[in-house]
């Protein structure tokens, strides 16, 4: 599994401390999906649970747009 396809941008403050990491949206979603596959849900911090919930809700919304009614599928095979 490839987790990141683009290098993250590292942001440092004036004293040289890393303060921010910027990811592409695709890499962030891949990261969330890897967490779903590898981590125990109850051990995740709430902010990651919320992010994964939002990602899964978006997945369902996208699936609804391409969903085909079962009746239509069965009628096509008949």
pLDDT digits (tens, 9 = 90+) for 8-34: 999 999 999 999 999 999 999 999 999
| Three-class DSSP category at 23 | coil
**pLDDT confidence bin for 70, thresholds 50/70/90:** confident
pLDDT at 77 over 70: no
Return all residues near 34 (Cβ < 8 A) that are at least 6 apart.
1, 3
Model pLDDT, residue 53: 95
Model pLDDT, residue 27: 92
Q: What angle do CA 65, 68, 61 make, to 5 degrees?
A: 25
């Amino acid at each position: 599994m490839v987790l990141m396809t683009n290098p993250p941008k590292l942001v440092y403050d004036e004293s040289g401390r890393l303060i921010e990491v910027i990811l592409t949206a695709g890499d962030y979603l891949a990261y969330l999906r890897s967490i779903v596959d590898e981590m125990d849900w109850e051990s995740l911090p709430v902010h990651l649970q919320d992010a994964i919930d939002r990602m899964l809700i978006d997945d369902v919304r996208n699936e609804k747009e391409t969903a085909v009614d079962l009746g239509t599928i069965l009628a096509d095979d008949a």
